[in-house]
Amino acid sequence: MEALQYWIQGFAVATLPMNLLYAFIGCVLGTLIGVLPGLGPAAGTAILIPVTFSLDPIGGIIMLAAIYYGAMYGGTITSVLVNVPGEAASVITCLDGYQMAKQGRAGPALGIAAIGSFIGGTFATLALMVVSLPLANFALRFGPPEVFSLLVVGLSLVTGLSGRSLLAALIMTLFGLMLAMIGMDPVRGAPRFTFGIPPLYDGIGFIPVVMGLFGVGEILLSMEAPVLEVIKTKLTDLLPKREEWKVSTGAIGRGTIIGFFLGIIPGIGAIIPTFLAYAVEKKVSKHPEKFGTGVIEGVASPETANNSYANGAMVPLLTLGIPGYPTLAVLMGAFIIHGLTPGPFLFKERPDVVWGLIASLSLGNVMLLILNLPLVGLWAKLLEIRYQYLYPGILLFCILGAYSLNQSVFDVGVMVAFGVLGYIFRKLDWPLAPTVLALILGPMMERALRTSLEMSGGDLSILFTRPISAVLLIAAAIVLLTPAVRLLGRRAGKD
Amino acid sequence: MKGRFVISLIFAFMTAIVGSAYTADYPTKPITLMVPYPAGGSSDVGARIVAAIAEKQIGQPIVVVNKAGAGGQVGWTELARQKADGYFLGGINLPHLLTAVLDPERKAVFKAEDIVPIISQALDPTTISVRPDSPWKTLKDLIEDAKKRPGQIPAGIVGYLQDDEIGYFQFAEAAGVELRRVYFDGAAPAITALLGKHVDLLFCTVADNYTQWKAGRIRMLTIMDKERTKFYPDLPTTAELGYPTVISASTRGIAGPKGIPDPILKKLYDVFKNAMMTKEHMDRLENAGMPVKIMVGEEFVKYYWESYKVAKKWVDHVRKK
């Protein structure tokens, strides 16, 4: 009942004309970013953070959140029309979505994706509303040792699940943790690894790094990409046929559940829920052999799952202050820039922000449905803009944005340097998500570990003797060791 | 003596001709008020409240900019090297600024005398907070328990070598106890840890715990001041309880770089004092749980150097260990 009351309060905040406008602008920008191949949601939110500076915290965060899930929607359009996912979570949509487009059925593919996303997003928002308050209260039981262990789990999942090579992922995680050590000692304030360079006293800025790795890096890479072939198709009939509705309903339901629950676990990332949803759909289907030839449930389920995931992933961010996904890490950076610390106390101190955001998520889903269904043709037109006109503008925007963070040229330098690094890492196929998450979680981890040790008087056993913490550490060990054990097993088998 | 008189005459004359443009007419352009903490924090809120009122009186905009980083050190480094023409002022927090200068680990590139205090805005005393169900009903209960198990009771401290830890040192020395110090990065995580029973008591200020106290989530044992605060009229002070040497607070004010000409300083004293005395300022700070304390010019400078002595004692104490 308490949640309902807060929710109504949240709606009062979210429906303020200015906040509606911010959410709308965010949805449009987000869809735009999702449509432009090469610019994912993480890059988009990072690039657009400076735009939200002048807004009040609620408006700014509502807009960024709208960009985030707008991009989730937008990514689908390119997957279906050009077989290039606009963002990673739409990769699997290419399989059946592009096939449908080739058969002249791009309309229903995009239609069901928008409808599924809407339903998944809405249900996940409702679930978020129900679970977040009890979870925020439960989170009070999370002391520094539990927080440390949970962060270890999150980083292990990101490391263990991203990319093909565990070694590369580990290197990237450690790289991020090392970057996180630069700057002031979080307890005593002594400068570390700063080499006497004053801007480094405050550490390497998270936002310029993300803008570089994701934004500039992706733009550099896109310059090599060939001009895309857009499937010319009439987008008149967007609604699926009657028999397609029947299969889609189940697919959307399953996608919602899978997405939301995987979203709650920090570190899973947005890709796995979509793959899992697709796999489940194939399992339960009566005609699994047809998957990949343009079946509608192969679009409906993963697309639902990715939006449901986007909302579910808000749970650990809002209740524990732990972002499970690079885009959410950017969103967390935005909270901090606006002077708000996500975590259980935010629910108590700024219920207007938390519930305003949650309510605006539901409103945003409606906006996106309206924006996507009739305007899908317009978005598709954008795909025909040539990169050479588009990207110099985006690059300029990035540079201005990085400078405006602290009026510091140093930040611009950091962004450019990480842009080049991002390009190299992409070429090497080394995952970027672990670095980004380690950079934002590193200082939290260090602080939690040091506080734990202060609590125990320097005794490390505090991490293993507290039950929640012990369970979490065992889970982390399983995540990291499983691939290693499997690899060893395979080697032993060869000998 | 005579020479100095002549020099001051010449100076007065020069100021009259050359300087009239920048002293008598001051300010002729917008004034920057730098806050060394992020936007939205209590230092930022306090600065924005007073700036909004003072700019109406001074006839030029007072632009609040945030130069956050390194626990205030980034902003203060900037403040210390600015031109002393009265157009760049900064928020200062004591003893934070002083321990940043005094602790060699912090490698500060400016000295305490490079910054000249102008006016104080709030003096926020340190308290000892516990959970409502804590077995310690009074400070005496805590001291007796702490003597039985020295170094065992986990006590939260908001900020290394800041007012809360200095308050702890003073308390530990006066009462002859030792607690296990656990440091937090700001009041919010510290209070979370107190409520989650990860620490059993917490050293934090009135502004830190006022909203939590109003919500009935915490209770306090004492406040480290000579007089009771109107925020907690029933809360006994350390002085009342027999520990008059345990006096600690986080004090917030406005300062400038060394060398601002006297006429400008006087104008700033007047403008900020008038702004802070307004009912609007008083009410808005009180709502935020910030106890107003206005010390102008000399009085604040004196307080600054007294705080310096106290801070030095405890920084040296820590360095010796």
CA dist., res. A140 & res. B193, Å (int): 7
* From B69, B195, B199, residue closest to A140, measured CB to CB: B195
Does the residue A175 lie in any domain?
no
How do residues A175-211 score in pLDDT, each as one tens digit?
999 999 998 887 877 888 988 787 887 788 888 888 8
Residue A495's pLDDT is what? 52
Kindly identify which residue of chain A lies nearest to residue B37, measuring between CA atoms: A339
Q: Do the Cβ atoms of A34 and A73 come closer than 8 Å?
A: yes
Q: Which of A148, A454, A469 to mutate to test the interface with B (most CBs of B within 10 A)?
A: A454
**Position with higher pLDDT, A87 vs A469:** A469
Of the pLDDT bands very low, low, confident and very high (cuts 50, 70, 90), residue A422 is: very high
Q: Are strands B180-184 and B154-158 parallel, antiparallel or unpaired?
A: parallel
Nearest to A67 by CA among A45, A49, A82: A45
Higher-scoring residue by pLDDT: B135, A227: B135
Asked whether the predicted pLDDT for residue B1 surpasses 70, the reply is no
Q: Using the predicted structure, report yes or no on whether residue B149 has a pLDDT greater than 50.
A: yes
* Residues spanned by the domain of A94: 2-143+196-431
d(CA B263, CA B24): 7
What pLDDT band is residue A332 in, cutting at 50, 70 and 90? confident
What pLDDT does residue B260 have? Answer: 94
A55 touches B: beta carbon within 8 Å: no
Distance in angstroms (rounded) separating the CA atoms of residues A254 and A259: 8
Contact A143 B198 (CB under 8 A): yes
Between residues A166 and B41, which one has the greater pLDDT?
Answer: A166
Q: Which member of A188, A344, A348 has the closest CB to residue B105?
A: A188
Q: How confident is the model at residue B235 (pLDDT cuts 50, 70, 90)?
A: very high
> What is the C-alpha to C-alpha distance for residues A63 and A31, in angstroms, rounded to an integer?
13
Residue B215 in contact with partner chain A when CB distance is under 8 A: yes
Give whichever of A1-5, A36-40, A72-76, B155-159 has the largest mean pLDDT.
B155-159
Identify the band that residue A441 occupies on the pLDDT scale cut at 50, 70 and 90: confident
> How many residues are given for chain A?
495
C-alpha A361/C-alpha A14 separation (Å) is 9
Residue A11: inside a domain, yes or no?
Answer: yes
Which chain A residues touch B188 with a CB distance below 8 Å?
341, 343, 345, 349
- Would the pLDDT of B2 be above 60? no
When CB atoms are compared, the residue of B70, B191, B192 closest to A184 is: B70
Are the C-beta atoms of B287 and B210 separated by less than 8 Å? no
CA B207, chain centre distance (Å): 11
User: Does residue B122 surpass a pLDDT of 90?
Assistant: yes
Question: For residue A269, is it left (φ>0), alpha (ψ between -120 and 50) or beta?
Answer: left
- Percent of chain B residues topping a pLDDT of 90: 64
pLDDT of A52-80, one tens digit each?
767 788 888 888 888 887 887 787 887 88
Q: Which of A140, A189, A451 sits opposite B182 (nearest CB)?
A: A451
Q: What are the chain B neighbours of A341 within 8 Å (beta carbons)? A: 186, 188-189
- Report pLDDT for B41: 67
Identify any residues that bridge with B91 across adjacent strands, giving them in sequence order.
Answer: B254
Q: What is the mean pLDDT of chain A?
A: 83
Of A229-238, A310-319, A335-344, B123-132, minimum mean pLDDT range: A229-238
Q: ipTM of this model?
A: 0.71
List of chain B residues whose C-beta atoms are within 8 Å of the C-beta of residue A446: none
The answer to whether residues B260 and B160 touch, using CB atoms and an 8 Å cutoff, is no
CB distance A143–B70 less than 8 Å?
no
Beta-carbon contacts below 8 Å between A and B: 91
| Interface contact A148, partner B, CB < 8 A | no
Residues A239-255 have pLDDT tens digits of 777 778 888 889 999 99
Q: Does B103 touch chain A (CB under 8 A)?
A: yes
Q: Are B312 and B102 in contact (CB under 8 A)?
A: yes
Lowest mean pLDDT among A139-148, A366-375, B89-98: A366-375
B100/A189 touch (CB, cutoff 8 Å), yes or no: yes
Asked if residue A341 belongs to a domain, the reply is: yes
Q: Tell me which of B66, B162, B192 to substitute to probe the interface with A (most A C-beta atoms closer than 10 Å).
A: B192
DSSP H stretches of helix in A49-143: 57-82, 93-102, 106-139
Flag if B106 and A142 touch (Cβ within 8 Å): no
**What does the alpha-carbon distance between residue A107 and residue A99 come to, in Å, rounded to a whole number?**
12
Please report which confidence band the pLDDT of residue B20 belongs to, taking 50, 70 and 90 as the band edges.
very low
In the 8-state DSSP scheme, what is residue A241? P
A-chain residues within 8 Å CB-CB of B195?
Answer: 140
Chain B residue numbers touching A186 (CB-CB < 8 A): 185
| Cβ partners under 8 Å of residue A357, min gap 6 | A10, A14, A58, A61, A62, A65, A314, A318
For the segment A107-127, what is each residue's pLDDT rounded down to a tens digit? Answer: 888 888 888 888 888 888 888
Q: Given an 8 Å threshold on Cβ–Cβ distance, is B185 in contact with A447?
A: yes
CA A194 to chain B, closest CA, distance in angstroms equals: 11
Q: Decide if pLDDT at A150 tops 80.
A: yes
d(CA A242, CA A25): 34
Q: How far apart are CA B220 and CA B128, in angstroms?
A: 6
Chain B contact present for A491, CB below 8 A: no
B221 in Cβ contact with B130 (< 8 Å): yes
Q: Considering only residues 107 to 136 of chain B, which have any Cβ-Cβ distance to chain A shorter than 8 Å? A: 107
Q: Is residue A172 one of the residues assigned to a domain?
A: no
Q: What is residue A387's three-state secondary structure?
A: helix
Helix (H, G, I), strand (E, B) or coil at B115: strand
* Contact by Cβ (8 Å): B249, B227: no
What is the rounded distance in angstroms from the CA atom of residue A128 to the CA atom of residue A126? 5
Q: Which of B70, B195, B199 sits opposite A189 (nearest CB)?
A: B70
Contacts of B264 (CB under 8 A, 6+ apart): B22, B23, B26, B85, B86
Given a contact cutoff of 8 angstroms between Cβ atoms, the answer to whether A156 and A414 are in contact is no
Q: Which amino acid is at B213?
A: W
**B188 to A198: CB separation less than 8 angstroms, yes or no:** no
Hey, is the C-beta of B183 within 8 angstroms of any chain A C-beta? Answer: yes
Mean pLDDT of B203-229: 91
Q: What is the pLDDT averaged over residues A454-464?
A: 91
CA–CA distance, B264 with B21 (Å, rounded to integer):
12
Give the whole-angstrom CA distance, residue B203 versus residue B233.
19
Angle, in degrees to the nearest 10, between helices A93-102 and A106-139: 160
For residue B311, name the pLDDT band (cuts at 50, 70, 90).
very high
Q: Is B41 on the interface with A (CB under 8 A)?
A: yes
Residue B6 reports pLDDT greater than 80: no
Residues of chain A in contact with residue B39, where contact means CB-CB under 8 angstroms, are 337-339
- Nearest CB among A202, A455, A457 relative to B69 is that of A202
In order, the DSSP letters of A267-329 are T--SHHHHHHHHHHHHHH-S-GGGTTS--THHHHHHHHHHHHHHHHTHHHHHHHS---SHHHH
Q: Report residue B207's pLDDT band, with 50, 70 and 90 as the boundaries.
A: confident
* pLDDT attached to residue B23: 63
**Shortest Cα–Cα distance, B40 to chain A (Å):** 5
For residue A37, is pLDDT > 90?
no
Per-residue confidence band for B21, with pLDDT thresholds at 50, 70 and 90? very low
Report CA-CA distances (Å) from A362 to A37, A45, A307, A316. Answer: 26, 19, 12, 18
Instruction: Report yes or no on A455 lying in a domain.
Output: no
Could you give the maximum distance between any two Cα atoms of chain A, in Å? 69
How many separate domains does chain A show?
Answer: 1
Using left for φ > 0, alpha for ψ between -120 and 50, and beta otherwise, residue B26 falls in: beta
A411 in Cβ contact with A405 (< 8 Å)? yes
Q: What is the pLDDT of residues B249-300, one digit of tens each?
A: 999 999 999 999 999 999 999 999 999 999 999 998 888 788 999 999 999 9
Element (H, E) at B146: helix B139-148
Model confidence at B13, in pLDDT bands (50, 70, 90)?
Answer: low
- Does B70 contact A191 at a Cβ distance shorter than 8 Å? yes
The pLDDT of residue B19: 45
Residue A365: pLDDT band with limits 50, 70, 90: confident
Task: Provide the angle, in degrees to the nearest 10, between the axes of the packed helices B206-214 and B187-195.
Answer: 50
* Residue entry with tokens 């020395």: B173
Tell me the angle at which helices A17-35 and A41-48 cross, rounded to the nearest 10 degrees.
Answer: 130
Of B71, B74, B192, the CB nearest to A345: B192
Q: Provide the shortest C-alpha distance from residue A474 to chain B (in Å).
A: 22
**AA letter at B191:** I
Asked if A348 has any chain B CB less than 8 Å from its own CB, the reply is yes
Please check whether residue A23 lies inside any domain of the structure. Answer: yes
C-alpha to C-alpha distance for A313 and A162, rounded to whole angstroms: 17
Residue A471 domain flag: no
